[in-house]
Amino acid sequence: MKTILVVDDEKKIVDIIQAYLEKDGYRVIAAYDGASALKEYHSQKPDLLILDLMLPETSGWDVCRAVRKESEVPIIMLTARDEVTDKIIGLEMGADDYVTKPFDPKELVSRVKAILRRMEKQPGGKVIALRELKIEVEKRRVTLGERILELTPIEFDLLLVMAENPGRVFSRMQLLDRIQGDAYEGYERTIDSHIKNLRKKIEADPDHPSLITTVYGVGYKLEEK
């Protein structure tokens, strides 16, 4: 049974999310502020966090930042505002996905399932080598030279999709569809933030990438040479 930590200062929202998740067989831990969220995270070691950004005292931003310093556990942000800047900052801090309030609980559960399902995929010991990169698919491990890279689930899946198809140009919607299972219109720009984070980890010069390049007006590709 997977454990989900739900963090929101509105008890009604937590109760709704908890009811839908438990109906699908998940164990749910609730927290209503940032300090409690970090305490529950360290004691319970959840498989995924659903995290509201606008929390009293210790904010959701601070929680996300603290968790990312020690773990790549998946994080889905909840944001009350449809502000692009908030979403971009959250994604660049390491969140895997976001949902804007008000939201459909069924959609939130489907996103939880999609992320956890991707993490469980084990396509049998496959290894992809490209330049100094080595991707061990079953272990979900990536090394650059001798260094093991700490990638979020979304970052790993993006890299894997492109590494399995080097030289192919993917649009944002195509990448989103491949990693989410179903592309959500309006969410395709989140790919830019994840690509930016990924470049910071695999490129010698992230501002002038040579591995993951931009095809302007189309999308991204992983260079073969």
CATH number of 127-222: 1.10.10.10
The DSSP string of 36-62 is: HHHHHHHHH--SEEEEES--SSS-HHH
Global pTM? 0.65
In a structure prediction context, what are the per-residue pLDDT tens digits for the chain, which is 225 residues long?
899 999 999 999 999 999 999 999 999 999 999 999 999 999 999 999 999 988 888 888 899 989 988 888 899 988 876 666 667 777 777 788 888 888 899 989 988 988 887 776 555 567 888 888 889 888 888 999 889 998 888 899 899 989 888 888 999 888 887 776 554 555 666 788 889 999 999 998 999 999 999 999 889 999 876
Task: Considering the domain delimited by 3-120, tell me its CATH architecture.
Answer: 3-Layer(aba) Sandwich (3.40)
Going from N- to C-terminal start, the domains of the chain cover 3-120, 127-222
Contact 49, 3 (CB under 8 A): no
